[in-house]
Structure 1
Amino acid sequence: MNMIKSYDVVIIGSGPAGSLCGIECRKKGLSVLCVEKEEFPRFHIGESLTGNAGQIIRDLGLAEQMTAAGFPDKPGVNVIGSLSKNEFFIPILAPTWQVRRSDFDHMLKEKALEHGVEYLTALVKDVIKHEGKVVGAIYKKDDMEYQVRSKVLVDASGQATFLSRKGIAGKREIEFFSQQIASFAHFEGVERDMPPFSTNTTILYSKQYHWSWIIPISPTTDSLGIVIPKDLYYQECKNPEDAMAWGMENISPEIKRRFRNATRTSTPESMADFSYRIEPFVGDGWLCIGDAHRFLDPIFSYGVSFALKEGIRAAEAIDQAIKNDDWKTPFYAFRDWSNGGQQIAADLIRYFWIYPIFFGYQMQNPDLRDEVIRLLGGCCFDCEGWKAPMIFRKAIEEYDRKQMVG
C-alpha cells in the first residue's frame, strides 16, 4: 500500500455538501482533499433550489454563471391537490433557480477548485483509525490502494452513507416517509404555464404519499417525478417506466395534459427507501453532512439547501475542532443545530401529509403565512421562537397519540 501526504480535511464526495464544506474550510486556511468516485458531470436528482440555496449561490459569486447556464429562475411552487383542488402557491422570497444537477454540481466543484480544494477521482474503501480516532481513509485508484491522513474525515457521500456502512457512524434508520418509491426522468416539449409562472415548480398530489413533481430545469427540459407507496409500486409496476405511466394516468389529469406532446430524453430511474436518519453522525475525527446522515421526503426540495447550509456550518465546527484540539464541543453543537433544523422540516412535511387542506389554510393565515413561506424557503435552522413550528409539532404529537390509542 502506498502512502501519500496528509490533509487537514478529507471529504468523501463532491456534491453540494462536500463542495461547500471544502470551500469554507479553504477560506479558513485548512488544506482539503475531496475524493469523488464519479467523473463530473454526472446525473443527480434534486433539481429545485430553495430561496436559502439561491442566497448561498449568490454569495459564492455564481449568479451570472447560473443565468449563463440557462437555469430557469424559480418564482415559486404551485401545489395542486386531488382533481386540481386544494391549490395554493408558495412564493420564493429570495431569487433562486431550477437546475440540471449534472451542470450545477460541476459548477460548485469548479468553484471549490478555484479556492484550492484538491480533487481526486477514486473509490474510498475504508477508514484508518488510531486509538479509536478516525485519522484518514484508504482509497483505490487504478487497481492500487493508497492511504491519506486527515485531522477530520467528512462523509459527504450522500445516500451512499459511507461512514454508516463502515460502522463508524450509526446505523441507517428508516423514517416516516420511507415506504415510497420515486421514479423520475427528463422530458422535452412539456406544456408550461404562461410567463411569469412558466418556470414554477409544480407539485401535484392525489392522496397521502401519492404525488408528482414537474420542474423546468432548462429552457426546453422538464424533470418529472412520480412518487407512490412501495406496495403500490410492486403491485402495479414492473419498472420505473411503468411507475411513471401509472402516475400520469392516476395522480392528476394535469400531468397527462402537460405531457401529451412531450418526448422523454432520459431513461427513467427509481429510488426506494429514501427517507432515513443516522445517529450518531459526528465523532472523534469525523462527521457526516447532508444526505450522508439524513434525507427527508423530497416534496419541498430541502435537499440541496440543507446540504449547502450543513457544508458551511460543518466547516466552522471543523475549524474550531482543529484549532482547539477538541472535537466534542463544536461537533456536538453542529449535531444539535442540524437535528433541530432537520426536525422542523420533517414536522412541516408530516403536517402537510396528515392535514393537506389545513396546510393550505395555514398558507393563508396572516399570523403564520410569512413563517410558513420562510420555512419552505429553507429557514428551518433559523426560526427560534416562531409560532408555526410549535403548531406543527403539537398537531403531530396529538395525531401520533390518537394513532397509538386507536
Structure 2
Amino acid sequence: MNPQVERTEILVIGAGPAGSVAAAMLRRQGRQVLILERQAFPRFSIGESLLPQSMEYIEAAGLLQDVVQAGFQYKNGAAFVRSEATTEFDFRDKFSPGWGTTYQVQRADFDDVLARGAERMGATLRFGDEVLSVQPGRPAQVQVRRPDGSEYTIEAGFILDASGFARLLPRLLDLESPSNFPVRGAIFCHVRDHIPAGAGFDRNKILITTHPEHVDVWYWTIPFSNGCCSLGVVAEPSFFARYPGTDLEKLQAIVGEDPNLARLLGNAEWAVLPVRTITGYSANVSSLWGEGYALLGNAGEFLDPVFSSGVTIAFKSAQLASDCLAREHAGETVDWEQDFSVPLRAGVKTFRRFVEAWYAGGFQKIIYHPDPQPEVRRMISSILAGYAWDTNNPYVADASGRRLRVLEELCSA
C-alpha cells in the first residue's frame, strides 16, 4: 500500500458553515469524514447575521449546544429604515412553523465553534492542507499539499466542496457560469458603536438602511454581544467611485449621508477590525453536482448579502447532500439532480425573486408600506427568516413571482 495515499469515505473541502454542518450530519450517520481547511481558524469571514431557519440545521447536526454556549448576540428580527420610514419584523411572528430566533455572530468565532463541534463528533479536521487537483469519480483522486510543502493523495468515496468563495471544484472542473446579477460591491468593517440605550436601536435585530437618495444602495448594521457592530454598505462600483480617499473614508462619507446612521454612530470607534471590500461576489455554476461530488453553499451559488441568506442556503445544501448520501449508503438509487439540485435551487430562486425586487425598489414599497395586511406580513416575515423552502407559503409556492408583483402594485397605489 502506498503510504502517500490516504482513503476516506467522504472528503469535505472547507470547514466553514456548510462543510462543518455537513460533516457533523454525516458523523451522526456513522460515516467516516475528513475535513480539509486551507486556512487557520479562527479567521474572518463575512455573513454575520444568521436567519432563524439556520437553527433547524444546526440542531439536526448536533451542534446546537455548541452554538448556544458560545455567547453570541441573540437575534429575533430585522429593522428597516429609509429616511423617515421605519418598520421592523419580529421573526417569531411569522407564517411558517419553526425557529423564530437565532444569533448575530462574529464569523471567526462561529465558524470555529462549528468546526470544533464537527471534530468533537468524530470528523478528522486538518487546517493548512490545500487541495491542488481533483480527478472526480468514485473514488475520486485528490492531490493535497501539507503546510510543510509535502504532498499526498486522498482517495475519496465522495467529495463535498464547501470551499466558499474560493469555489475550488467550479474552478478546477470548469463549472463556473456567469451570474445574471449586476456587479455590486461592499465596503465594510467592525466598529465599537457606543450606541447609548434609548437611542432607538434594537440590538436584537439587524438594521438594514436604504440610502436616502438611492434605492439600490443599502447599509447593514449588525450588533454583536461585545459592544461592536459589523457595518457595511452595498452598491455598484460606479457609486463607490464617486467618493475620494481610502476605503474607510468612503465608508464614513456614505454612512454620513444617512441621518439616522450618522446619529447612531456619532460616538463610534471605527475600524476595530480593518476595512475590507468585496466586489462581484454573485456567482453561479453550470451544475451543483457531478460523479462523486456535490457543491455546498457559496461554492455553488451566492446571490447577495441583503437578506443574509448565504449561511441558510449553505446549511440547506449540507442537509440535502447528507440526506442523499445516507440514502445511497442504504442502497437506494439517488438522482442528485432531482433530490439535491432541484430542491436547493427552488429555495435559492425564492430568495432571488425578493433580492431582485429589493434592488428594483418594488419590495421596498412592501417593506415600508404604512398599513400592511397582517397575514401577508407574516408570510413576508417567514421568507426574511429564511423559510424559503416552505411551499405552504403562497409567496414561496408561486415560482413565477406573480403574487409578489401584484403585491408590489397594490403597495404602490
- The question of a shared fold, defined as TM-score above 0.5 by the shorter chain, is answered with yes
Residue 389 of structure 1: how far off its partner (Å) = 5.5
Q: Which residue of 1 aligns with 2:376?
A: 368
Contact 2:136 2:293 in 1 (8 A): no
**Selected match of 1:305 from 304, 307, 312:** 312
Contact 1:282–1:332, Cα closer than 8 Å, also in 2: no
Q: Which residue of 2 aligns with 1:347?
A: 353
* Residue of structure 2 in register with 1:240 after alignment: 247
- 1:31-72 deviation line (CA, Å, top 9, x unaligned): 111100011111111111111113433455655554543311
Q: 1:176-195 maps to which residues of 2 (within 5 A)?
A: 176=181, 178-191=182-195, 194=198
Which one-letter code corresponds to 1:3 in the other structure?
Q
Separation of aligned partners in 2, 1:60 and 1:135: 26
User: Are 1:348 and 1:392, in contact at CA under 8 Å, matched by a contact in 2?
Assistant: no
Q: Could you tell me which of 110, 114, 121 is aligned with 1:108?
A: 114
Report the AA paired with residue 390 of structure 2: D
Equivalent residue letter for 2:307: F
**Letter in structure 2 aligned against 1:339:** R
CA separation in 1, counterparts of 2:400 and 2:246? 36
SS class of match (2:74): coil
Q: 1:145 aligned to 135, 148, 151, which one?
A: 151
Equivalent residue number for residue 95 of structure 2: none
Query: Closer, same or farther in 2 for the Cα pair 1:363/1:14, shift >3 Å?
Result: farther
CA gap of 1:362–1:174, structure 2 versus 1, over 3 A, is farther
Distance 1:47 1:221 in 2: 12
The secondary structure found in structure 2 opposite 1:236 is coil
Pair 237,165 (structure 1): closer, same or farther in 2 beyond 3 Å? farther
Asked whether the 8 Å contact 1:48–1:301 carries over to 2, the reply is: yes
Asked if 2 retains the 8 angstrom alpha-carbon contact of 1:347 and 1:389, the reply is no
For residues 90 and 371 of structure 2, the distance between their equivalents in structure 1, rounded to whole angstroms, comes to 11
C-alpha distance in 2 between matches for 1:386 and 1:115? 39
The CA distance in 1 between the partners of 2:65 and 2:171, in whole Å, is 39
Q: How far does the alpha carbon of each residue in 1:154-183 deviate from its partner, in whole angstroms, 9 at most, with x for none?
A: 110001111111125x2232232x421111
The CA deviation at 1:384 is: 4.7
1: CA distance, partners of 2:244 / 2:38 = 32
Structure 1 residue 150 displacement after superposition: 0.9
Q: What is the distance in 2 between the residues matched to 1:65 and 1:23?
A: 12
| Structure 1 counterpart of 2:72, one-letter code | F
- Offset of 1:325 from its aligned partner? 7.4
Amino acid at match of 1:179: V
* Residue 333 to residue 193, structure 1, CA distance change in 2 (3 Å): farther
C-alpha distance after superposition, 1:350-370 (max 9, x if no partner)? 222221113433992234222
| Structure 1 counterpart of 2:171 | 165
Residue 271 of structure 1 aligns to which amino acid in structure 2? Answer: I
Indicate yes or no: 2:343 matched with 1:337: yes
Q: How much does 1:76 deviate?
A: 1.3
Q: Which residue of 2 aligns with 1:279?
A: 286
What is the TM-score normalised by the length of structure 2?
Answer: 0.87
Secondary structure of 1:201's counterpart equals strand
Is the CA contact (8 Å cut-off) linking 2:139 and 2:155 kept in structure 1?
Answer: no
Instruction: Name the amino acid aligned to 2:206.
Output: T
For structure 1, list consecutive stretches of 5 or more residues without a partner in the other structure: 399-406
Q: Percent identity?
A: 24
Alpha-carbon spacing, 1:362–1:57, altered in 2? closer, same or farther (3 Å): farther
- Say which SS state the counterpart of residue 102 (structure 2) adopts: coil
Aligned counterparts of 2:370 and 2:300: Cα–Cα separation in 1: 30
How big is the shift at 1:291? Answer: 0.5
What is the CA deviation profile of residues 212-258 of structure 1, one whole-angstrom value per residue up to 9, with x for unaligned ones? Answer: 010012231111011121112234255432331232123x1122112
Write the distance in 2 (CA, Å) between the matches of 1:397 and 1:387.
10
Greater Cα shift, 387-396 or 342-351: 387-396
Q: Residues 375 and 226 (structure 1 numbering): CA distance in 2 closer, same or farther, change over 3 Å?
A: same
Match of 1:249 among 250, 256, 265: 256
Q: Which amino acid aligns with 1:305?
A: T
Tell me what 1:91 maps to: 90
- Residue pair 1:181, 1:227 contacting (<8 A) in 2 also: yes
Aligned residues: 391
More helix by percentage? 1
Q: 1:391 to 1:333 in 2, by over 3 A?
A: closer
* Alignment partner of 1:229 out of 226, 236, 256: 236
* Residue 261 (str. 1) matches residue 264 (str. 2): no
Q: 1:350 to 1:73 in 2, by over 3 A?
A: same
Secondary structure at the counterpart of residue 50 of structure 2: coil
Structure 1 residues 52 and 395, CA gap change in structure 2 (3 angstroms): closer
In the alignment, structure 2 segments of 5+ residues that lack a partner are: 93-99, 407-413
Q: Which residue of 2 aligns with 1:117?
A: 123
